[in-house]
Homo-oligomer: A and B are copies of this chain.
Amino acid sequence: MRSEIRVIEAAAVERRFSASQIIVICKERANRLFVVSEGCLNYSSVTDDGREILLGRLVPGDAFGIATFLSEPGCYLGTAKAVCDTTVFFWDYRLIRQLATAYPRLAENGMRIALRSVALHVERHVALVSKSARERVACALARLGTRGGRVLPTGIEVDIKNEDLASLADVSLFTASRLVTLWERKGILEKSRGRVLIRSPERLLAA
């Protein structure tokens, strides 16, 4: 089991992407499995009229390209774009299939990731239908903080533009901006271009 991991790790290729570089494109054939190692990236789909919809923010430990586990490979469900300098590991399709048959626990992990993804989407859907814009933005910010936020003595720092935050919470850029400045006035957080410092996650969610 320990040795399994060593073999799989040894087979990985490491690649570095700089900010705003694109790693995979939505709807293209999924011929690689990726795992984020460092940095973070936006995973997004697009509407018919070309607007970008953030499906999620991927941080170290997150994977995409799970469709590589299937015998007839599917497609990437989103476009992955590096937010900051980011390194990923990847495995080619053939390789993943071999490893997955050799080590069934690998395939099971893929399944676990896929199911968690379904659960997240269901949760987001329910929130979108039943919660207010304010709650959704607060929740999105808080989640960004707990996943991939830098812990500073003064609070939790997150790299996010208002536009991306808006898309994550399914809200217009303007309402996101208004909410953030409102919270800043209340001292719940501090905002600067492309970054948010969350001083009090509790008060954020309580609002």
Residue A107 contacts which of B107, B119, B126, B170 (CB distance < 8 angstroms)?
A: B107
Residue of B nearest to A48 (CB): B130
Whether the pair A125, B53 counts as a contact (CB closer than 8 A) is yes
Residue of B nearest to A72 (CB): B112
Q: How often does this chain occur in the complex, in copies? A: 2
Decide yes or no whether A20 CB sits under 8 A from chain B.
no
Decide yes or no whether A114 CB sits under 8 A from chain B.
yes
> Chain A contact residues (Cβ within 8 angstroms of B): what range?
35 or more
* 4 A-B pairs with the lowest CB-CB distances in the bound complex, closest first: A47-B130, A121-B121, A114-B114, A117-B118
Beyond A70-B115, A121-B122: 12 further Cβ-contacts under 8 Å? A45-B126, A46-B126, A53-B126, A53-B129, A55-B125, A77-B118, A107-B108, A110-B111, A111-B111, A111-B114, A125-B125, A128-B170
Q: Which residues in A have some Cβ–Cβ distance to B below 8 Å? A: 45-49, 51, 53, 55, 66-67, 69-71, 74, 77-78, 101, 104, 107-108, 110-112, 114-115, 117-119, 121-122, 124-126, 128-130, 170
